[in-house]
Amino acid sequence: MQIKRLLCKSCTLGTMLVAAVWILALLLYSHNLNSSINTAGWKFNKSNASPRAELSYQARVTSGCTPSSSNTSTAAAAVPVEPLELLGVVRNKQDKYIRDIGYKHHAFNALVSNNIGLYREIPDTRHKVCDRSETSEAEQLPQASVIMCFYNEHKMTLMRSVRTVLERTPSYLLKEIVLVDDHSDLPELEFHLHGDLRARLKYDNLRYVKNNKREGLIRSRVIGAREAVGDVLVFLDSHIEVKGFWKKGSSLQLQPCRRTPNQLWYETEKSEIILDKLLCLEASGDSQVIINKCHEMLGDQQWRHTRNSNSPVYNMAKGTCLRAASPAVGALISLDLCSKTGGLGGAWDIVQQKKDVDKANRAL
């Protein structure tokens, strides 16, 4: 009876009013929370709900980063693709910690790097005059040792760098990957890094070298070069993604004129001979002529001629002239003595653009 009396006394109008206010506030909070989840791009299937929201997030990121297939159904194609900006959405306190600690230690958003994963498709960034044909084993290219030096690198980014080299490099070209740890002190790199890399990447020719003290980038690369056994050494940063273009450089040859972008050369005011406004003709070694990026330091990319027709073209750094082996299609181009007798293959014509000729005529 006493308990009943106490309950009756406690269930007053004021108490019931407070309880109603609390219930109303709870319902309003649930409604706002549900709206914010939908606004952030989260979509839950109520008929097949999962208590682990990251599973739905991972599936959404995978579908957003994977190229569309021709076999995709009409219903799936109608679903809008989520923007890649959602890779950086902070879902909980752990994500916020990963983001903040990434900026502190690595100066980039480690949360986005984690959500990208170990592999993704990247665009083709080659110059338009580059050869797009696939590399074949018949080309007999030398085997390469890829050397990556790092210090306190983000672990997922490091793994993705190694994974892209493995996925986009033919096995007959990749001799090994040498990782040089310049005495990192982050806990995720200090213990079991080599074992984790082998377990996740499953590559036997992955070599791990750790310096006993900080050596710096150049000394670390020298250490990696001493450990490498490949025919060619390729030095890469530890936060990169490669596309996998392995082509053997060919010598310059005479070809029929077609006025295509890979045959139009321009002479600049600095006496550079430029291909398609980005690549320069460069003297390399004693007799080789190559195409390289324009460095604007002149020297080996600076060329001179005495007249516009039947003129030798000589390099300012080497002092030798541009010469074709013979005036025939397929003849190799090299550097040779300008005073060589005969002059065969060493005389060139400089063709002026029509607008330059018109400008000169107007000036006269």
Residue-wise pLDDT for 340-353, tens only, equals: 655 566 778 877 76
Q: Binning pLDDT at 50, 70 and 90, where does residue 248 land?
A: low
The 10s digit of each residue's pLDDT in 135-150 is: 778 878 889 999 999 9
Q: Quick check: 257 pLDDT over 90? A: no
**Using CA atoms, how far apart are residues 288 and 18, in angstroms rounded to an integer?**
90
Contact between 253 and 331 (Cβ < 8 Å): yes
The 10s digit of each residue's pLDDT in 91-128 is: 899 999 999 999 999 999 999 999 888 888 888 877 66
Q: What is the pLDDT of residue 287?
A: 81
Which of 220, 181, 177 is closest to 202 using CA atoms?
Answer: 177
Higher pLDDT, 49 or 35: 35
Calculate what percentage of the chain has a pLDDT beyond 70. 73
Q: What is the pLDDT of residue 174?
A: 92
The 10s digit of each residue's pLDDT in 85-96 is: 688 888 899 999
Q: What is the pLDDT of residue 83?
A: 58
Q: What is the pLDDT of residue 144?
A: 92
Q: Quick check: 131 pLDDT over 70? A: no
The 10s digit of each residue's pLDDT in 202-225 is: 888 999 999 999 999 999 999 999
Q: Which of 45-49, 51-55, 123-127, 145-149 has the lowest mean pLDDT?
A: 51-55
Q: What is the pLDDT of residue 70?
A: 43
Set out the domains of the chain in order of their start, with CATH numbers: 141-236 (3.90.550.10), 261-352 (2.80.10.50)
Higher pLDDT, 11 or 42: 11
Tokens of 121: 């498709």
Q: What is the pTM of this model?
A: 0.57
The 10s digit of each residue's pLDDT in 265-316 is: 878 877 778 776 678 888 887 788 888 778 777 788 888 888 888 888 888 8
Q: What is the pLDDT of residue 193?
A: 85
Q: What is the pLDDT of residue 265?
A: 81
* Mean pLDDT of all residues belonging to the chain: 77
Q: What is the pLDDT of residue 166?
A: 92
Contact between 128 and 261 (Cβ < 8 Å): yes
Q: Quick check: 179 pLDDT over 80? A: yes
3-state secondary structure 70-111: CCCCHHHHCCCCCCHHHHHCCCCHHHHHHHHHHHHHHCCCHH
Contact between 174 and 146 (Cβ < 8 Å): yes
Contact between 321 and 335 (Cβ < 8 Å): yes
**Using CA atoms, how far apart are residues 178 and 235, in angstroms rounded to an integer?**
10
CB atoms within 10 A of CB 228: 20
Helix (H) and strand (E) counts in the chain: 11, 12
Return the bridge partners of 111, or none. none
Q: Binning pLDDT at 50, 70 and 90, where does residue 356 land?
A: low
Q: Quick check: 259 pLDDT over 50? A: yes
Block residue for tokens 């392995």 = 246
CA distances (Å), origin 230, targets 1, 209, 303? 93, 16, 36
**Using CA atoms, how far apart are residues 230 and 146, in angstroms rounded to an integer?**
9
Q: Strands, E, within the chain: which ranges?
A: 144-150, 174-181, 206-210, 232-236, 265-267, 273-275, 279-284, 288-293, 303-305, 313-315, 321-324, 333-336
